[in-house]
Structure 1
Amino acid sequence: MKISFLVRDLCHMGGVVSATQNLAGALAARHEVEIIALRKVRDESYFPLDPRVSVRALTDLRKHSPTSDLDDPLIEVFPKVYPVDPAEKKPVVSRLAELRLLEFLATTDSDVVVSSSPRNTIMLSYAKGDYLRVTQEHSMPSIYAKYYQGRLFKAYHSLDALTALTPEEVESIGKLVPGVRNRLAVMPNCVPAAPVQSTGTSKVIIAAGLLKENKNFAAVVDAFATVVAKRPDWRLRIYGGGTEKANLRKQIETLGLHNTVTLMGPAAPVSPEFSKGSIFVLPSKREAFGNVIVEAMAAGLPVVSTDADHGPRNIITHGEDGLIVPRGDTAAMADAILELVEDDERRMRMGEAAVRNAVRFHEPASCERFEAILHDAAARRALPTTATAQVDPQGSVRIDVGALPAQAHGAEIACRRIGRNPAEERFAIEPDGSALVPWRGGLAEGTWELSVRTAAGHEVPLTADGYGCDVREVLNVPLPRDDRGPAMELLLPHRGEGDRLRIRSVVRDTHVEVDELAVGDDDFELRAVCWGAPLGTGAALEAVNRRQKDQVLTVPVTAGEGGRFSARVGFGLLVGDHEGPEKIWDVWLRPEEGAARIPVGKLATDVLEPIGVFTFPRPVITVSTPPEPTLLTRVNRRVARKLKWKGSSQAAAPAGPVKVEIRPYFTALSQFAFKTVDV
């Protein structure tokens, strides 16, 4: 197959560039592979690239190049789709590069397009080509800049596969964007074998990376001060360049380590330098993976590393090929280094284990791992992604996904409950492409998202269009249910975020359904029906203050036939305790004295969100005597006066009569409530 990798450029010394070039080279043994760079600013990459991999730069920013684009006016224009850092004074990626990338995405004959950066992933989400869309996250999306993070998470939904470097990061992304959990996979960076390996006899400790604050090289310098005090014949070499170089130089001189600690500068490739050492140290505060760990292990160096999330613990086997120490514990780092410095046999043994264990990140293993991800993505793409849902007269839901491919026979509808209490239920898909979610015992209460899942574990989320959910029969479902189960069991299929097919399941042993609300001159008359609990002595309607649960307004109910009842709620009762700017009373039924409360609401309907749909008149009442202020109100007023909050609604008590509007409504949870509001 033909595989194209998208990168910003290959012109800087970064782990993403190295990992992308390494994987491209590994795949080139069996596939046609190219790298598409948005820009080119230097003649060669810092890292070696397999000659079988072709490279195409969409814009050439080299002054001396005969193909330079520097005279094109669009080079100075900011892009319209590609996310731009608000701090940019001039575009790093230009409108010209953006247009050429969009053209490439629309016309390429590639079978797979792989984004190696989050901003390119956003661009890939706009593509219409018929190829697999894959992104590789080389960092932690949870810490990405807010100006593009939201767009990126939305873009994930258009991908066929999404990889992260560690299981922990796969789990993290799955929590951030639950809708893409089915297409997440672990894909560690590809790191080649070392051309030359350490003998383990030189008294040199190696550290390497970008000299920036997060890499925390100051910690390894501090730790080495302890080491060299005990073993003055050992030396520390730090490879890399960056903004912290001057601070490190000052630290080294302050500690008197200028004869034993050397800042070596950048090295590309760095692997041959590793062979000159006997121990490698990684002191990072945060490390999504850590290519240098694998490079050092491949060169035969045992590694001492901080337990930086999440990379090191997924590479190093503590005590076998390296030692992991707590972040921020310089003393523990020094002790771990000394363990290896003072035990030649152990150091040699761990170095040999490091070489063996690094193999799982080399080209052959990485190629097989990535090919398996592409195979799974292709299998998912063959599955149906749209469905229809129809409620039958009893309230069961018939899901129809159409014909399944032969390899997907035996697939199921997977229903996953979203929210704080996740759960999963599965229902068999029949040969005709349909599945039945039964009204009884099918789904517990909650909102469920639906997917197609094969026996091999391939899964795709289901979507529905505006005609995909036939809920006409919901209005005819016989309620209450029979005496053998809950009084209220109702399934309501609907479209959720991103057109995802969802089912809201309501399962209640008892339920109070509002029939109507009559608005009189002095009161409301609520008419409702209670299922699952008989009305007995002392039955009453109770309005509970949402903020102060001990405040309860109680009115008796008048029982009718078949569980029906009515209750009159006086306007004066609701506004008698009103205290601006608003107060909310959630309404419950206590079916008899001493019984548990039952929420009063609107659920026996095809309306998913009654709030704003079922509306009622809002009477306005004049309250002539302001209520006695509560202790909380008096405290708030005192604070307001102290802070001089002019115009605060709590700054002073009203001097005369006030008008209060009473708003009956259904809440977001479909419970009936009254709100009193100053007008």
Structure 2
Amino acid sequence: MKIDFLVQNAFAADGATRAVLNLAGALADTHEVRVVSVFRWLDRPAVAPAHGVRSLSLLDLREGRRPDKQDIRRLTPSRVIPRTQEMSWRYSQLTDDKVEEYLVGTQAQVVVGTSLELAAYVSRWGRPRALRLGQLHLLSTVLSAQEQSRAWAGLGRLDAVVVPSSAEAAAVTEAGLPGGVAVHAHPDCVPEPRVRPADGRSRVVTAAGRLVPEKRFDLLIQAFAQVCVKHPDWQLRIFGTGPEYGSLRALVADLDLYNHVFLMMEEPRLESQWAASAVAASASDRESFGLALVEAMRCGVPVVSTACPGGPTEIVRHEVNGLLAPVDDVDAFAAALLRLVEDDDARTAMGRQALEDSRHYGPEEAAGRFEKVIRTSRRARRESRPAAEISVGCTVEQDGLIGLHLAGVKDGRDDLQLVLRRRKAPRDERPVRLPLLPAGHLGPHRYTAVVPPDPGVLTEGRWDVHLDTGEGRPAKVRPGPLDLRGFGPVATGPEGTVVQFPYASESGHLVLRTWTRERHAEATEVWISEGVVHLRGLLYGSDFGEAEPLLLMRRRGVEAHSFWLSGSSSGAADFSFALPTSDLAEQLVGRHELWDLWVGRRYDPVVARLGRFLTDVVDVKAVFAYPNTVVQAGDGPAVLVKPYYTAGTELSVRVSEKAE
């Protein structure tokens, strides 16, 4: 699946941007993910996108003579973004034109606007066939009711909105988005840190965030003043920049805390700082989520936070992984800090539990939650469409032939045709037309046609099924009953193997998937045990006989780089292989490589791509998922080896360095 995240400034290090980049990295393991930064002010991003995430910028506003910076359209206000919105000053006619051009041209199946402004763009110009989502952090906890009404007015054509906490989702749902747009709670993603967890022995309390009034760093400093009276060996370190820097610096001086409280400026990656801390603190009046709290917990640091609206009350379990204090109560917050400062056992126990609880926000869990939002939104879109009057059902006979059955057309028609168009076909490729014949024996208003098994008629690919009634342009049909009990190869033998599979597409239309191969190697079992990938399957188009089965491993993009692995067979079409993951780990040249698997016979030049065609599962890539195997190759970095199915349902193996 192709997923695009539209970000205001992917070169920044703020929490919302980090959250988007983290989620993009989590999804990139199984999807094609791109982060599109509307603005670019810097040469290098503060936080680089994860491996596998592509990125691009729409407006280049770096210093120097750059066309976007000199474009006169920057002087004209945006016609989409209301001037009342906080970040509206960034948007102009130039921004509108650039984003519209991108949204109209992108081939992404899912487009996500990650701010109110960008969600409005996606709602307005996102392609109708693409799923249009808004991933928003600043809604009910930050905006007034009047501001929300203005901000939400442009979101009516989104398929769904994602917010980072259940409390936020409930508040937004109760207020009601225009058009009944669904709202989903989706906590931010925080990857596993690259440092060892905190041991709780330091004497440092750490906080991080934008230095703005709602973060209440002034309250935190006042509370820490009470801690210093009893424990002068402790420090408070605050990481961040913002308009409150000067007033906070003055407060530190007024309270004579200049040897205890330090304003540390901004750091893009804080995991080393969290690991060197004993306690993480947040005194905010409101938080859309609380990314810094989870980042601290991922390093095994217990949390002291205000029980403010938003995410903290869902992240922090009082007396379990941290402590909660009332909002705007200096004494209560100081008491909570003192509790963890003075009780080493409680601090250590809560830190261990914080580390355990934080796994809920890891990449695999976050990617799974986001994929569920996509599935739910697509299902809701299908169900919201009015049902067509005409449907085409499919029956797969025992020989694999597919019968198409039309229902809902009056008897007596002899001019009906099914039109099959192959996706991504050349312009000069003509569609396949199948005459529909009356089938009164099946019931009234029924017609039927048989899909030809000839690979010269339906070449390999995905074929959308249309109905031509002679009354206008052929239209796609919705699927009727799909009886797949006879599913299997339509033809198999020395001339080739043909497989045809009918299914309902994500858009709710009938599609035929066809494979035509001289030979086909079908994977029937894949399992991993003690560092070995075991493969079993059947070779269609030829038996092995006395020939030895061979597994050919080809590095993607380097056709000449390959190696063979011997297997076993009974002499019939069956084969089995045992592939040590260490063999692939030793072949790793770069940081990330893909290997494709082929099956052949010794002394026979014909090889067959290994795949999984003969299953009634539509989304093989998502359903048949295999775990990572960690291989330690000598003194070098650990290597991850993971079998997976491609979008074309063929088996490959991903080999990559494990992040430290």
TM-score, structure 2 as length reference: 0.56
Question: Secondary structure in 2 aligned to 1:38?
Answer: strand
2:116 is aligned with what amino acid? P
Question: Secondary structure in 1 aligned to 2:191?
Answer: coil
Give RMSD over aligned pairs. Answer: 2.6
Which ranges of structure 2 fall in alignment gaps of 5 or more residues?
Answer: 394-406, 409-660
The 1:178/1:77 distance shift into structure 2, 3 A limit, reads closer
TM-score, structure 1 as length reference: 0.55
The 1:250/1:148 distance shift into structure 2, 3 A limit, reads closer
Aligned to 1:338: 338
Aligned to 2:63: 63
> C-alpha separation between the residues in 2 aligned to 1:318 and 1:86?
36
Among 124, 127, 132, the residue aligned to 2:125: 127
Aligned to 2:244: 244
Aligned to 2:176: 177
The 1:288/1:405 distance shift into structure 2, 3 A limit, reads farther
2:166 is aligned with what amino acid? P
Aligned to 2:199: 199
CA contact (8 A) 1:8 1:37 kept: yes
**1:409-450 Cα deviation digits (max 9, x unpaired):** xxxxxxxxxxxxxxxxxxxxxx99xxxxxxxxxxxxxxxxxx
1:158 equivalent to 2:157? Answer yes
Question: Secondary structure in 2 aligned to 1:23?
Answer: helix
Question: Secondary structure in 1 aligned to 2:262?
Answer: strand
**1:132-161 Cα deviation digits (max 9, x unpaired):** 001112122474378874354233331112
1:20 equivalent to 2:25? Answer no
CA contact (8 A) 2:140 2:172 kept: yes
CA contact (8 A) 2:113 2:121 kept: no
> C-alpha separation between the residues in 2 aligned to 1:128 and 1:366?
24
2:202 is aligned with what amino acid? S
1:98 equivalent to 2:96? Answer yes
2:295 is aligned with what amino acid? E
1:96 is aligned with what amino acid? L
- Greater shift in the superposed pair: 277-286 or 173-182: 173-182
Question: Secondary structure in 1 aligned to 2:63?
Answer: coil
Counting only pairs closer than 5 Å after superposition, residues 193-592 of structure 1 correspond to structure 2 as: 193-196=192-195, 197-386=197-386
CA contact (8 A) 1:210 1:240 kept: yes
**1:223-258 Cα deviation digits (max 9, x unpaired):** 111111111211111111111111111111111111
CA contact (8 A) 1:142 1:176 kept: no
**1:297-326 Cα deviation digits (max 9, x unpaired):** 111110000011021001111111000000
* Residue 55 (structure 1) shift: 1.3
CA contact (8 A) 2:114 2:136 kept: yes
Question: Secondary structure in 2 aligned to 1:359?
Answer: helix
**1:58-108 Cα deviation digits (max 9, x unpaired):** 11011247x6522322233322223334899x9522322210111111121
The 1:156/1:404 distance shift into structure 2, 3 A limit, reads farther
1:111 is aligned with what amino acid? Q
**1:147-184 Cα deviation digits (max 9, x unpaired):** 87435423333111211111111111112216666722
Question: Secondary structure in 2 aligned to 1:228?
Answer: helix
Aligned to 2:115: 117
The 1:151/1:230 distance shift into structure 2, 3 A limit, reads closer
The 1:147/1:105 distance shift into structure 2, 3 A limit, reads farther
> C-alpha separation between the residues in 2 aligned to 1:237 and 1:319?
23
CA contact (8 A) 2:135 2:162 kept: yes
CA contact (8 A) 1:77 1:91 kept: no
**1:307-354 Cα deviation digits (max 9, x unpaired):** 110210011111110000000111111111111111111111111111
**1:19-60 Cα deviation digits (max 9, x unpaired):** 111111111111111111221111122223113111111110
> C-alpha separation between the residues in 1 aligned to 2:320 and 2:392?
47
1:125 is aligned with what amino acid? S
* Residue 405 (structure 1) shift: 11
State the 4+ residue runs in structure 1 displaced beyond 4 angstroms: 85-88, 145-148, 178-182, 400-406
Aligned to 2:630: none
Aligned to 1:448: none
> C-alpha separation between the residues in 2 aligned to 1:33 and 1:329?
44
> C-alpha separation between the residues in 2 aligned to 1:172 and 1:71?
42
The 1:185/1:401 distance shift into structure 2, 3 A limit, reads farther
Aligned to 2:82: 83
2:95 is aligned with what amino acid? A
The 1:48/1:272 distance shift into structure 2, 3 A limit, reads farther
Question: Secondary structure in 2 aligned to 1:248?
Answer: helix
Counting only pairs closer than 5 Å after superposition, residues 136-147 of structure 1 correspond to structure 2 as: 136-141=135-140, 143-144=142-143
> C-alpha separation between the residues in 2 aligned to 1:2 and 1:201?
46
2:157 is aligned with what amino acid? S
Q: Which has the larger radius of gyration?
A: 1
Question: Secondary structure in 1 aligned to 2:59?
Answer: coil
Which ranges of structure 1 fall in alignment gaps of 5 or more residues?
Answer: 387-399, 407-430, 433-679
* Residue 201 (structure 1) shift: 0.3
- Identity over the aligned pairs, expressed in percent? 32
Aligned to 1:2: 2
> C-alpha separation between the residues in 2 aligned to 1:302 and 1:403?
60
> C-alpha separation between the residues in 2 aligned to 1:277 and 1:142?
29
**1:553-607 Cα deviation digits (max 9, x unpaired):** xxxxxxxxxxxxxxxxxxxxxxxxxxxxxxxxxxxxxxxxxxxxxxxxxxxxxxx
Question: Secondary structure in 1 aligned to 2:68?
Answer: coil
Question: Secondary structure in 1 aligned to 2:162?
Answer: strand
- Greater shift in the superposed pair: 347-356 or 43-52: 43-52
1:10 is aligned with what amino acid? A
Aligned to 1:188: 187
Question: Secondary structure in 2 aligned to 1:56?
Answer: strand
> C-alpha separation between the residues in 2 aligned to 1:376 and 1:199?
42
Aligned to 1:476: none
> C-alpha separation between the residues in 2 aligned to 1:11 and 1:110?
22
> C-alpha separation between the residues in 2 aligned to 1:307 and 1:179?
30
CA contact (8 A) 2:153 2:178 kept: no
Aligned to 1:74: 73
> C-alpha separation between the residues in 1 aligned to 2:245 and 2:181?
43
CA contact (8 A) 1:301 1:354 kept: yes
